[in-house]
A and B are shown apart, each in its own frame.
Chain A
């Protein structure tokens, strides 16, 4: 999933490890999310949004399947 985690993180002057420690996951998890290799859980997505004080939609841009008719 496309995301702006790296942009927000760099704006705050944080390393991947520092962000990982701040939100309670491993550095590898943050790296995988930033490289769009791994879609985080809802809990982690909301935690990241809370940490950067923004909405989840500002951080993530999901590839949604068309819904409805």
Chain B
């Protein structure tokens, strides 16, 4: 959308779309939990599938909110906080991967210790995440050249 909004309208739109996004997510999550509870009572798979469908509907509502909002849903301080949190998370993931993955390979190869499958899965998942970050970073960097 390219409509010109006043500052006050931008704030109103931001609140309006944030509310839509939060309600969509809330609806999806609550639906899923309710469906799971009903499934435990009824043991009918269709209830679980209905819950999953409603959950995805909530996700879709969230995506529509982000796409359709004429303004950025978070203001500049919120975006800054998200960026800082993302950087800290990525730092954690990177440190754990750099230290943990070679250790896992050495320990499991020599037979000294084999970490639980969940831990090994997380380590390789982190590596994949770092590779995805590298690819996305390369793509973004190209847009500034």
Contacts and interface: CB of A to CB of B under 8 A. Distances in A.
Interface residues of A, number: 15
B62 to A, nearest CB: 20
Nearest to A51: B7
A12 to B, nearest CB: 15
A2 to B, nearest CB: 18
Majority DSSP secondary structure for residues of A touching B: helix
Nearest to A44: B76
B44 interface: no
Interface in B63-87: 75-78, 80
Contacts of A40: 76
B7 A29 contact: no
A60 B31 CA distance: 49
Interface of B: 6-8, 10-11, 75-78, 80
